[in-house]
Amino acid sequence: MNHHDTKTQREPIPDEAENVARGIVDSAFRVHSQLGPGLLESIYEACLIHELEKIRMKVDRQRTIPVVYDGIRFETGYD
């Protein structure tokens, strides 16, 4: 990596995006701090959703998205 590349000016992150990102990271940190490691992913997911809803974020849980594998479209991804 060229050191000069790290000095490239970037557009500032819009305030709304910054606030959303901060809310997500803070909520995830809160869950991790309270529960620690080693539990099932579903427990962390439920607690994270709870934390995000407490700060009035709209959350969709386990949305179905299509996955293309070997040229075949599967509609069961993350269902």
pLDDT given at position 5: 63
Query: Is pTM, for the whole model, over 0.75?
Result: no
- Is 1 part of any domain? no
- Is 6 part of any domain? no
- Is 38 part of any domain? yes
Residue 3 has pLDDT above 90, yes or no: no
What digits encode the pLDDT tens for the residues 39-58?
Answer: 999 999 999 999 999 999 99
As a whole number, mean pLDDT of residues 19-31 equals 97
The DSSP line for 15-41 is: HHHHHHHHHHHHHHHHHHHHH-SSS-H
pLDDT given at position 62: 86
Residue 51: which domain range?
12-77
- Is 27 part of any domain? yes
How far is CA 72 from each of CA 10, 68, 75, rounded to the nearest angstrom? 38, 5, 10
- Is 3 part of any domain? no
- Is 2 part of any domain? no
Domain count, the chain: 1
- Is 7 part of any domain? no
- Is 71 part of any domain? yes
